[in-house]
């Protein structure tokens, strides 16, 4: 699905980490790589040629009680409300450091995809992403992305839709 493929310098993924995500996604999606970084939502939107809101950023938090990973998938144009996320989870959360993120997801911060994690996280998807026809998510590296519709994001992740934006 490449409805938004108008970006410059996109090519099929070749890095091992992005190819891992391609394998999880299958043939219905295509992980694309850029020469430039797409580490931030603004960088990704500029490289792709979409709005910042269409970037489905994946943020990993750590539950303070159990230590399990919590994945918040939100529009690039919003901030995640950590208090609301804690309320939904039923326990407090904290920001995950780079080591925790890599250990539990297998990916570096800036390239964390919404799927394919080493440890299955608890997943919350912000309701604002459902407003878009298509969204773009990280593809396993800071310069890899893939396009999908919000319904596919829900299906692939099994996440819970909730109001988690500030």
Contact 116, 24 (CB under 8 A): yes
The domain total for the chain is 1
Under 8 Å between Cβ of 149 and 56: no
Averaged pLDDT in 10-residue chunks for the chain of 166 residues: 51 94 95 83 88 96 96 97 97 96 95 96 97 96 94 97 96
- Helix, strand, or coil here: 13? coil
Residue 3, pLDDT score: 38
Asked if residues 137 and 6 have their Cβ atoms less than 8 Å apart, the reply is: no
pLDDT of residue 98: 96
Any domain includes 84: yes
Q: Would you say residue 73 lies in a domain?
A: yes
Tokens of 59: 């943020």
Tell whether 2 is covered by a domain: no
What pLDDT sits at residue 1? 39
pLDDT at 10: 83
Q: What are the backbone angles phi and psi of residue 137, rounded to the nearest 5°? A: -120, 160
Task: Examine residue 109 and state whether it is found in any structural domain, yes or no.
Answer: yes
Quick one: pLDDT at residue 8? 56
Rounded distance, CA 13 to CA 15, Å?
A: 6
**Averaged confidence pLDDT in the chain:** 92
- Spell out the SS3 assignment of 143-161: CEEEEECHHHHHHHHCCEE
Range of the domain at 100: 11-162
Residue 23 lies in a domain: yes
Q: How far apart are CA 24 and CA 94, in angstroms?
A: 28
Whether 61 maps to a domain, the answer reads yes
Classify residue 51: in a domain, yes or no. Answer: yes
Do the domain assignments include residue 5?
no
- Residue reference for tokens 């939502």: 41
CATH at residue 134: 3.90.960.10
């Amino acid at each position: 699905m490449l409805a938004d493929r108008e970006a410059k310098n996109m090519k099929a993924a070749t890095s091992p980490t992005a190819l891992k995500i391609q394998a999880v996604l299958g043939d219905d999606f295509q992980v694309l790589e850029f020469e430039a970084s797409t580490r931030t939502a603004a960088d990704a939107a500029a490289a792709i040629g979409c709005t910042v809101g269409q970037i489905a950023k994946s943020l990993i938090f750590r539950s303070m009680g159990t230590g399990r990973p919590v994945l918040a998938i939100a529009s690039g144009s919003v901030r995640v409300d950590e208090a609301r996320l804690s309320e939904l989870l039923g326990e407090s959360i904290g920001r995950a450091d780079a080591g925790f993120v890599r250990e539990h997801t297998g990916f570096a911060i800036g390239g964390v995809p919404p799927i394919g994690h080493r440890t299955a996280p608890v997943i919350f998807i912000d309701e604002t992403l459902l407003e878009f026809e298509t969204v773009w998510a990280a593809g396993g590296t800071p310069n890899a992305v893939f396009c999908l519709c919000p319904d596919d994001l829900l299906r692939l992740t099994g996440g819970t839709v909730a109001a988690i934006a500030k």
